[in-house]
Structure 1
């Protein structure tokens, strides 16, 4: 499994609207198309964290291929009023991805 973590800014009182947009999006086949196994959204003191787990390490490539899909374009546009880039030089979600520097998992 492969994971990504996007960090941005969000007013905490907007979490219901953001989760509603993702619930609608995740109710389509788009998560399966992108290889998404699980999505979790968190907020803390004005920060937004979007943790996404993928079936395999090609999750980023699959997202790139899905970016032209009208449903992907729609959720990206719909989120703009609620999610603000953490860094002023943000151009795409890849610019907002945290870098993992430690990982541990229990034996299966």
Structure 2
């Protein structure tokens, strides 16, 4: 994997099954490939939601921005609203505003 993004948000306490089902259906379409997503992992911790995506290239964020107008992207964004809310609603305008910044990386040598 060449690039990763980590989105941080708030999630309803018992919503993980619903959120997983929505992404399961979304990931069965060609949308992950259109966005360059190679792997998606969802985590929860004490009301927080972590959405880790791995990409083969460094332009994953650009591809996601391009996909935002696709009806399937719009639909999953709407379907997630009852379960996921912005970590800081006052500053959130797009997923880019909720991305964590990596400040350390280590990887085992081959």
TM > 0.5 fold call: yes
Matched, 1:69 2:79: no
Aligned residue for 1:58? Answer: 59
**What does 1:1-108 correspond to in 2, within 5 Å?**
1-88=2-89, 89-108=91-110
Structure 1: gaps of 5 or more residues: none
Residue correspondences, number: 108
1:12 Cα deviation after fit: 2.6
TM-score, with structure 1 as normaliser: 0.97
What secondary structure, in the 3-state scheme, does the structure 2 residue paired with 1:81 have?
coil
What secondary structure, in the 3-state scheme, does the structure 1 residue paired with 2:6 have?
strand
What secondary structure, in the 3-state scheme, does the structure 2 residue paired with 1:104 have?
coil
TM-score, with structure 2 as normaliser: 0.96
Q: RMSD between aligned alpha carbons?
A: 0.7
CA contact (8 A) 1:4 1:51 kept: yes
CA distance in 1, matches of 2:92, 2:65: 17
Structure 2: gaps of 5 or more residues: none
CA distance in 1, matches of 2:105, 2:35: 23
CA distance in 1, matches of 2:102, 2:29: 29
CA distance in 2, matches of 1:97, 1:71: 21
